[in-house]
Structure 1
Amino acid sequence: MNTLTKQDLSSGDLLATAASWQDAGKKVALATVIQTWGSSPRQAGSMMIIDNDMTMLGSVSGGCIEGAVIQEALEIMDHGKAQILEFGVGDEQAWDVGLACGGTIQVYVERLEAA
């Protein structure tokens, strides 16, 4: 049996896991890299799911901005309004969260609704 790491998961795997979390009564948000410029740890289309207990699966940055994305996801799960987050080296927040690699990344964070 192979254990999947966050880098091995397909978007289908992530969405299936998100559905199972919802079936268990959890709120779930999806974060998706929508655009990158310069050097960035993940490409457009990379995804991460987060539940209301701060459990996460997947990756949008290899770790350098995940904390900030999780905090925003928790707020979005409560109020439901999707957000586009942008982090880059010119942005003071990017240095705070560790994105000092010379790139910029945009992440779309949305609450997933139960089907």
Structure 2
Amino acid sequence: MIIITSKYLIPKGYAAMALFPFLLIKHNGLRFNPTLILHEKIHFRQQAELLVLPFYIWYITEYVVRLVIYKNHSSAYKNISFEREAYANENNTGYLKNRKPYSFFKFI
């Protein structure tokens, strides 16, 4: 994981973004936020399982489908299966050690 700090690379309303192998964060102080770091590490694991490019294709496709369903960016984003898994487990420090492969399927 290579951490890059840039307020210009992160979309408005977001604090960080995992783009394998880079973790883009908006402010340098966020590199010490354990919840944020774990959330993004969960995304790294998801990306690795799907061999990176298929992850992004699935992520964008699921976002578009959910945007049609919910007609709202925030609801569509929060209901993407990858985000649901990350948000549900971002406070569980042992999650990645015990996580089964393709765990995001149960959040679809």
TM-score (norm 2): 0.37
Greater fraction of residues in helix: 2
TM-score (norm: length of structure 1): 0.35
Could you say which structure has the higher strand fraction? 1
